[in-house]
Amino acid sequence: MVHSEMLVEPVVQELRIPAGIAGPDEVTMDVRCFLVSHPAGLLLIDTGPGSADAIGAALDRVGAGWGDVTDVVLTHSHPDHVSGLADVAARCPGAVVWAGAADCKDITSTVPLRALADGDHVRNLQVVAAPGHTAGHICLLLEDGILFAGDAVFTDAGALKRPPGAFTADPVQAEESLRKLSLLEPDRMLVGHGAEIPDPAGALRRLLEGAPETS
């Protein structure tokens, strides 16, 4: 049984990016999925590479099992967020899998994907369309001010940053999405890469005051 106080359980993995992809050297990257409890079970946000075992361990930690996972929501189509989907879907065949409408065609899936638009709800999460990083990138807002920001931003050593330009499909749109997220003034913000930071609303405001990096 899922503990009634459990709202969010991060699933943290370290991913090695070979030299030449995210820079000249090999890079170790923090990749996160999240389990979120709702009245009828658990919802999973993102399915990174080889994440099924780590998600299974997280389910153990919260006293739940794969049968409790009712929904899988993908923030966007990049492989570091979706390539564990087939393994995950096989372990929770009853779960409905969702993604932003414009990203569905870019996600390889063994199960049907249901398309999400801005303002839609999946259980206790509200979809906040935040295109730019990818055309169909979505963020998810939990009722009590917790924002799952996907790759709209990331954190590094306690600082909030924009994703590298090389991985941003439309930088102008990405900047508009950041302004939209800032207006939500989240109490907590959980990102796809990097640890949670304090005062995310203030950090988003400060980030927007700085000029976008043009890397």
Site string for Zn ion, 133-152 (x = CB under 5 A): ------------------x-
Is 193 a binding residue for Zn ion by CB under 5 A? The answer is no
Q: Which is nearer to Zn ion, 71 or 151 (CB)?
A: 151
Is the CB of residue 162 less than 8 Å from the CB of residue 207?
A: yes
Site string for Zn ion, 169-188 (x = CB under 5 A): --------------------
Query: Per CB under 5 A, which region of 20-28, 52-60, 72-80, 182-190 contacts Zn ion?
Result: 72-80
Is 71 a binding residue for Zn ion by CB under 5 A? The answer is no
Q: Which is nearer to Zn ion, 125 or 153 (CB)?
A: 153
Q: Whole-number minimum distance, CB 192 to Zn ion, in Å? A: 7
Size of the site for Zn ion (CB under 5 A): 2
Is 103 a binding residue for Zn ion by CB under 5 A? The answer is no
Q: Whole-number minimum distance, CB 105 to Zn ion, in Å? A: 16
Given 78, 123, 188, 193, the residue binding Zn ion (CB under 5 A): 78
Chain residues in the site for Zn ion (CB under 5 A): 78, 151
